[in-house]
């Protein structure tokens, strides 16, 4: 194991039994066909669950809508990229040459995705208890600071709440196209809502940004905008 990975594990507060899990989490798609996107998928679900449970326990009087908004604020891309910066995750990322030259170690979308991948790697290596311990420590200050009455709704959260209120199924998001080189990709995403006769589309420099745009358009249509 390299010194940089040993230092990163110290910052994470977790020592991997199998360092290969961590190395996989730090490998961007620009390095080739073996990369961290599957771990990112896993980590996304885990961090949402762990933060949701923590909020449920901590804010016993908060209703579902407020809990949803608080969770969205804590695990959105910007929050995860800020966490990655605090942990100095960018320094350990394995990037292709084009991504390195274009500043990929500082790009929000890459950092947020890698943070999710690291969470997925911790789960594979140490299970859910290890994830809860790490995520609880990383988010401790944010969980104390978030205010149930002062959290703005992002478009995806607002759309979900509208559909729940009207008793419609929740939306699904489908990545239709990814274009551009690995260090400057553009995502095209469809938002599928049963209550709408048409799908809405969003584009952005990350999957999350494209999903937010598509959700905003769907919400506008549902509200007659």
Closest C-alpha to 36, from 91, 88, 93: 93
Closest C-alpha to 109, from 191, 43, 204: 204
Full pLDDT tens readout for the chain, 225 residues: 577 899 999 999 999 999 999 999 999 988 888 999 999 999 999 999 999 999 999 998 888 888 888 898 889 888 899 999 999 999 999 998 888 888 888 888 899 999 999 999 999 999 999 999 999 999 999 888 887 776 677 889 889 888 998 899 999 999 999 988 766 788 999 999 999 999 999 998 888 889 999 999 999 999 875
Active-site hit among 44, 99, 108, 125: 44
Active-site hit among 40, 113, 116, 211: 116
Q: Count of CB atoms within 10 A of residue 161's CB?
A: 16
149 is catalytic: no
44 is catalytic: yes
pTM: 0.73
Domain parsing of the chain, residue ranges: 3-145, 155-222
Looking at domain 3-145, does it have CATH number 1.10.10.10?
A: no
Q: What is the DSSP string of 56-114?
A: HHH-TT--HHHHHHHHHHHHSHHHHHHHHHHTTGGGG-B--HHHHHTTGGG-HHHHHHH
CATH of domain 155-222: 3.30.160.20
């Amino acid at each position: 194991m390299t010194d940089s990975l040993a230092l990163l594990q110290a910052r994470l507060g977790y020592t991997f039994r199998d360092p290969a899990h961590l190395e996989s989490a730090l490998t961007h798609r620009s390095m080739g066909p073996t990369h961290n996107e599957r771990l990112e998928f896993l980590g996304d679900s885990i961090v949402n669950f762990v933060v949701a449970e923590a909020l449920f326990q901590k804010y016993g009087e908060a209703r579902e809508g407020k809990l949803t908004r608080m969770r969205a604020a804590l695990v959105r891309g910007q929050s995860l990229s800020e966490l990655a910066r605090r942990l100095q995750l960018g320094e350990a990322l394995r990037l292709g040459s084009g991504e390195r030259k274009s500043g990929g170690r500082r790009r929000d979308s890459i950092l947020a995705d890698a943070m999710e991948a690291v969470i997925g790697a911790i789960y594979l290596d140490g299970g859910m208890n290890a994830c809860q311990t790490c995520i609880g420590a990383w988010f401790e200050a944010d969980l104390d600071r978030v205010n149930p009455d002062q959290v703005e709704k992002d478009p995806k959260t607002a759309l979900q709440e509208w559909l729940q209120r009207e008793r419609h199924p929740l939306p699904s998001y489908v990545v239709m196209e990814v274009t551009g080189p690995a260090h400057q990709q553009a995502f095209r995403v469809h938002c599928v809502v049963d209550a709408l006769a048409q799908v809405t589309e969003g584009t952005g420099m990350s999957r999350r940004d494209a999903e937010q745009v598509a959700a905003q358009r769907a919400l506008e249509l549902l509200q007659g905008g």
